[in-house]
Copies of this chain bind each other. A is one copy, B any other.
């Protein structure tokens, strides 16, 4: 099967240029995590012969760079994998014109954002369309699965120089508004121990589930903070996400585990987050099982400020904080300020009824294009 995409979709001067068709073409090549090769090949096919881009392929990740000798470099990145298809491919367009809605897996998370990036990668740098900054376009694999497989993380290990930049934009869905930085996330297990016994003689044992009562009481009473960082207000959260205890209907349980997920503002680092949880659960056995620091929004950078103005001019939208953890945190770790900016409602990501108001595609493209051309 030939799954290449007709490059006519990319030519902004040609009659066939159509972001909606391009988004559909990208979505209709299924690319569930681990099976991104065809889609990576198709994107490589679209960009390979463009003289203003230098390509590097790493597995199913692709980096395309301009080399115009500009002072500053902007990175635009997006993952090309999706969560599993839920009988929602091929895509389906409902309505027409600017009110049309494109239904299907990947339309929101995040092949709409990838379509915008692919279109601009082809356009900016071509004769007469020279950008104000050098540009690095990154399309990567394995974002929707275990963090150790993440294609952006792999690129950072294999080719750290390719991720270098002064500012990065991640095309994750943000309703075509700028969502700055991201909260950090930490998972801990809070455990209690007891003494097993037959439940007919419960007094010979010690109930580990009863012992967990104060842990749940503290969680129920906890008041999450709202923290202002670089002008954006981040809302935290502390929640039990799983609880488990007991082995049989007639045995006093000797162990109980509460898994807790803490989402913390980017003003707090991982060590501070852990110290806070140890304080909240003082007196209990606490083990950190997973942690990733957040990212400050970095909107005080002049490059970022210009981008904020461009989006404001195009969409009227002011920047907001990003609550979920995203790969902007990887850029933050590399010292590159980064924001989320892409078409689609993040609340529809991963849903069976994932769908994109197509008007957001052009909004995102226009805001990005204006800023990248004019600086």
The residues of A with any CB-CB pair to B shorter than 8 Å are 183, 185, 187, 198-203, 207, 209-213, 216-217, 219-220, 224, 235, 237, 239-253, 256, 258-259, 261, 263, 290, 323-325, 347
Contacts and interface: CB of A to CB of B under 8 A. Distances in A.
A185 B198 CA distance: 12
B245 A323 contact: no
Contacts of A183: 200
Contact of A240 (B210, B220, B224, B324): B210
A211 B347 CA distance: 24
Nearest to A202: B237
Contact of A243 (B202, B220, B256): B256
Contacts of A212: 216, 243
Contact of A199 (B200, B207, B219, B241): B241
A227 to B, nearest CB: 14
Chain A contact residues, majority secondary structure: mixed
B324 A237 contact: no
A250 B241 contact: yes
A94 to B, nearest CB: 26
Nearest to A236: B202
Each complex incorporates copies of this chain amounting to: 2
Nearest to A217: B213
Given A210-B240, A243-B256, 12 more contacts: A185-B199, A199-B237, A200-B263, A201-B324, A202-B263, A203-B237, A241-B249, A241-B253, A242-B249, A243-B243, A243-B246, A249-B261
Contacts of A242: 209, 245-249, 253
A245 B242 CA distance: 5
A187 to B, nearest CB: 6
17 contacts: A198-B324, A199-B239, A199-B241, A199-B261, A200-B323, A200-B324, A202-B224, A207-B219, A207-B240, A210-B219, A212-B243, A240-B246, A241-B246, A241-B250, A243-B243, A243-B253, A250-B261
A246 B259 contact: yes
Nearest to A183: B200
